[in-house]
């Protein structure tokens, strides 16, 4: 097997390292951190596909650059769900999920004021990669604590079977390498 996977996305090409997940599966590691050109291009391409929305909700950490750039380009507010309660959170709302890229359970937390901000708004959920859908489910659960409506779930890439989903939109599929 090759050591890299060539990805063509949003008019750009990137070589992704292949990483072992377990004895049966490898993945291509897609990391937006520090790649400003890629982040800007993916944000612009996803915004062209996105329905009308009022606020972006994402999970810490890898979704943050993309969500921030989408918020910057659209002029819309964005809310990062943090990995744990923070001192500034007066009334943390906590959800746990299971993610393919995080060992064990992953905790997502937002402050109650963020839930109240989403009340009555159209919410766009953003992540860098959708794989099992665990993070999306946790973000949808957080959004459901408001009176807002999730109008879409999106990512730069859909990994493995996630590319077959019809309830999300994404820029490119990302294969899993089974052996």
Per domain, the residue ranges of the chain are: 38-171
> Rounded to an integer, what distance in angstroms lies between the CA atom of residue 17 and that of residue 12?
16
Q: What is the pLDDT of residue 33?
A: 82
Give this prediction's pTM.
Answer: 0.91
101 has a pLDDT exceeding 70: no
**C-alpha distance from residue 132 to each of 33, 113, 162, 175 (Å):** 21, 29, 7, 13
Topology at the third CATH level for domain 38-171? Rossmann fold (3.40.50)
pLDDT, one tens digit per residue, over 66-79 is 999 999 999 999 99
Say what percent of the chain tops pLDDT 70.
94
Give the angle subtended at the CA of 110 by the CAs of 64 and 82, to the nearest 5°: 40
> Rounded to an integer, what distance in angstroms lies between the CA atom of residue 114 and that of residue 60?
15
Query: What single DSSP character describes residue 89?
Result: -
CA quadruple 97, 99, 104, 107: dihedral sign: negative
């Amino acid at each position: 097997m090759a050591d890299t996977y060539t990805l063509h996305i949003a008019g750009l090409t990137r070589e992704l390292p292949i990483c072992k997940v377990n004895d049966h599966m490898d993945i291509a590691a897609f990391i937006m951190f520090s790649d400003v050109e890629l982040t800007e291009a993916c944000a612009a391409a996803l915004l062209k596909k996105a329905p009308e929305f009022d606020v972006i909700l994402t999970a810490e950490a890898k979704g943050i650059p993309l969500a921030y750039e989408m918020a910057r380009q659209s002029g819309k507010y964005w809310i990062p769900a943090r990995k744990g309660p923070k001192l500034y959170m007066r009334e943390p709302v906590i959800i746990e999920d299971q993610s393919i890229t995080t060992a064990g359970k992953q905790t997502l937390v937002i402050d109650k004021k963020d839930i109240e901000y989403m009340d009555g708004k159209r919410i766009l959920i953003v992540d860098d990669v959708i794989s099992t859908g665990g993070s999306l489910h946790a973000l949808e659960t957080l959004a459901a604590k408001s009176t807002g409506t999730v109008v879409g779930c999106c990512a730069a890439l859909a990994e493995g079977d996630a590319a077959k989903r019809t309830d999300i939109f994404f820029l490119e599929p990302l294969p899993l390498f089974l052996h």
